[in-house]
Amino acid sequence: MDLAKHSDGGRSAGQDAGPATARDATASPTVGVEAHAAAADGLVVSRLSHRYGEVPVVVDVSIAVPAGEVHCLMGPSGCGKTTTLRLVAGLETVQSGCIDLAGRRLADATLMVPPEARQIGLMFQDLALFPHLTIVENVAFGLRRVRAADRHARVAELLDMVGMSRHAAKYPHQLSGGEQQRIALARALAPRPRLMLLDEAFSALDASLRAEIRGEALQILKAANVPTLLVTHDPEEAIVAGDKVHVMQDGRLVQSGSPDALYRQPVNEFVANFFGPTVRFAAKIRGGLAWTPLGMIAAPAQPDETPVSVVFRAEALQLRPDYNGTGQAGQVVACRRMGPACDLSLKLETGSTIKIRKPVETPHHIGMRMGVDIDQRYTFVFPQSEAAAQKSAAAARGGS
């Protein structure tokens, strides 16, 4: 997954820059200008918090999704992303904060508009098509109060939109997984929702079909100018699908921005590690520098003696098969083919062994000695958490 290919900004490829530190990128805890832009036709979530008993699962989350945009809410299992979606949908009661859609208050600590009155479309991993109803009847299910002529016209329009008109008389079990996904989208769009919520909606599909169906679905939603919030644990899906990505950790929104911004300027080690494989070393700052087995890395923003994590993306490590005796070097000790890429294990002259994923065309063989150059645009220095610092100190004592 090469996020640099999805660039829409940031530092240019030829720009010389030092490593990013935690101060180079900041999270977006408030919606600010974006909330104003989204207020007329989009979703605005302001300072949302939620507990299950005494356990906080969502803490002070603010998100604004303008009409026609797809935003991805991303994080590992248990981070609070699905609970946030359920609060927006009206499936959980808001305890603190507020939710507005198209300028209308849907929920706060004293107000609860019921889910069926929110004009929100929902798609989950379990598509929940009615097995005893035909495709036409499934799509028309949410239009029971609409006049028959208008209902038939709307269903025909949607089936044509998703390319499923010829399957109108079939039942769900007669369709493939991708075809069922198209019908679920048509059913969700039938009542003309003001917002679409997708919770891991494409994860049950095979990888190749997933990309195709997801692309079609999001194109339809954008064309309909429907704001869309997609919950996912898959960073590649967030990169491809999202106009903006919101990363959650332990119930909190830790960073929001374009996929390229999060890739190039992660606010902490958690975000950096979420977007593809990295190489990490623990270090301490001395004289504005962090020593690693790959060499000294500049970190002028960090005070001396600060325990830090130095994180290298795969792009940061440039391998030279023509090592000429200058700079860092290592020996290839293992290689595993991963389709168009290969995972190289490189034993450095300092004794450490690192794993790097590189294109399979990279010249290499077991035993080859290779030079290692550092591109500091893809190198990040973050203060360690107290727990990580204690772990690193214990490991250092154990090795001494």
Written as tens digits, the pLDDT of the chain (400 aa) is 444 444 333 333 333 445 655 433 344 444 555 666 566 689 999 999 999 999 999 999 999 999 999 999 999 989 999 999 999 999 999 999 999 999 999 999 999 999 999 999 998 877 789 999 999 999 999 898 899 999 999 999 999 988 899 999 999 999 998 899 889 989 999 999 999 999 988 887 777 788 888 888 888 889 889 999 999 988 888 988 999 999 999 999 999 999 999 999 999 999 999 888 899 999 999 999 999 999 889 998 889 999 999 999 988 998 888 777 777 889 999 998 888 888 899 999 888 999 988 888 888 889 888 889 899 899 999 998 754 554 555 555 454 4
Prediction pTM value: 0.81
Backbone angles phi, psi at 240, to 5 degrees: -75, -40
Q: Can you tell me the distance from the alpha carbon of 81 to that of 64, in angstroms, rounded to the nearest whole number? A: 15
pLDDT at 20: 56
pLDDT at 386: 55
Element at 89 (helix H, strand E):
helix 81-89
Q: Can you tell me the distance from the alpha carbon of 148 to that of 79, in angstroms, rounded to the nearest whole number? A: 44
Total residue count of the chain as it appears in this document:
400
CB of 369 closer than 8 Å to CB of 330: yes
Write the burial class of residue 144 (CB in 10 Å: 0-12 exposed, 13-18 middle, 19+ buried): exposed
**Which domains are present in the chain?**
22-119+193-269 (3.40.50.300), 277-399 (2.40.50.140)
Q: Can you tell me the distance from the alpha carbon of 263 to that of 99, in angstroms, rounded to the nearest whole number? A: 29
Backbone angles phi, psi at 293, to 5 degrees: -60, -15
124's CB contacts (< 8 A; 6+ apart) are: 199, 200, 201
Read off the tokens for 209. Answer: 């079909």
Residue among 390, 296, 389, 373 nearest 327 (CA): 373
